[in-house]
Amino acid sequence: MYQTTIAKAVDIVGIGLHKGTPVKLRLEPLEAGSGIVFYRSDVDVSIPLQPENVVDTTMATVIGKNGHVISTIEHLLSAIYAYGIDNVRVVVDGDEIPVMDGSAASFCMLLDEAGIVKLEAPKKVMIVKKEVTIEKDGKYVKLIPAKDLKYSFTIKFPHPVINKQAYTLEFTKEAYKNEIARARTFGFLQEVQYLRSKGLALGGGLENAIVLDDKKVLNPEGLRYNDEFVRHKILDAIGDMSLIGMTFIGNYEAFAGSHHLNHLLTKALLENAENYEVVEIGDEKAKELEKVYV
């Protein structure tokens, strides 16, 4: 099984969630061993995708370098990870990844357009060897050793539409596209109004998020899945965990997890080499793993 990149450069333009201004996004192929690299074309700054470059996790995962940031990277990263892409350059001309419709569906379409090619280098895979848990205020995220890759998430909100929801994704690229990619981010009307008063969420609206008042969903088209809320949390988690830097084998589990807890989990995992093993997989050893990206 070999490392991959995209077959050709592709472009898309969308609105940034917080500033509400157009952002141009371009994905470009990179050679083997490059990893995922973000580039701010407006300020000529490259930011490799590494946990130490995460500068904020309050409302999204934000990376930065030399005072320049790129926000809301998790939806795009979720799609890149699901497609098994190891090396790609993400070029933006501003400080946000465009929010598109609030899900990863547009990014999946962009990657389908780009295509995927194998490179002449073996794929690296991280095997989770020890359980790693981050717990705070009754919330937790954890990685558990296993022979497969699953994401299990439970949420609980005091809202009649959400209540308690749980979902487990048995990860494959196809399962991700069918079960997770179209799940949109969500927010509450009073929160949106507060954020806008602070100059944030200026690009947020019913066209790129599920918005709820005290009793119901305000989007006229309704939900894409009855449990769209917890499915989006898995979408976020996949994007956040991609900061590990490679495909991993193990089970992710969360109760009321967040970008912040996910960031702490990736750091805790990587801080102790006894927690994991990195292996290079040649094609003859990767028959089962390769199937998940078909």
Query: Rounded distance, CA 1 to CA 123, Å?
Result: 6
β-bridge pairing 62-65 and 68-70 = antiparallel
Answer yes or no: 18 catalytic: no
Query: Rounded distance, CA 244 to CA 248, Å?
Result: 8
Q: Structure tokens of 47? A: 């930011």
Residue 272 CB coordination number (10 Å): 11
| Catalytic residue (choose from 18, 75, 232, 259) | 259
Q: Using CA atoms in the order 192, 195, 200, 201, what is the torsion angle rounded to 10 degrees?
A: -10
Contacts of 187 (CB under 8 A, 6+ apart): 201, 204, 209, 210, 211, 212
Q: Annotated active-site positions, please?
A: 259
